[in-house]
Amino acid sequence: IKPDNVAEEGTPHRAHILNGLCLCRHCHIAFDKGYFSLTDNHRIITSTKFSDIADQNLKTVILSSVNSTIKNRVDNRLPLPEFIQYHRANKFKD
């Protein structure tokens, strides 16, 4: 969620177990480009630039998940809001 190449500020993020999401390759790229993100309560949101995605199948997959809450990990933990907030502030195209 918070890239490895970002300086450590706040909670160390580079190897933090709660600084990641399990996404398919295409969704991972769309997430990194800021086409969708998460709210602090782990709901999926899309950006105003979402329509720029050319792949209609990818758009359909992401749109079908909007407002859904991501699933807990096996250990019932979710990404830290600090990392999600970084993504929304620095990657998300609102």
Looking at the chain, the whole-number percentage of residues with pLDDT higher than 70 is 100
- Strand partners of residue 46: 36
pLDDT, tens digit (0-9, with 9 covering 90-100), for 48-87: 999 999 999 999 999 999 999 998 888 889 999 999 999 9
> E strands within the chain?
36-38, 44-46
Cα 88 to Cα 94: distance, rounded to the nearest angstrom = 8
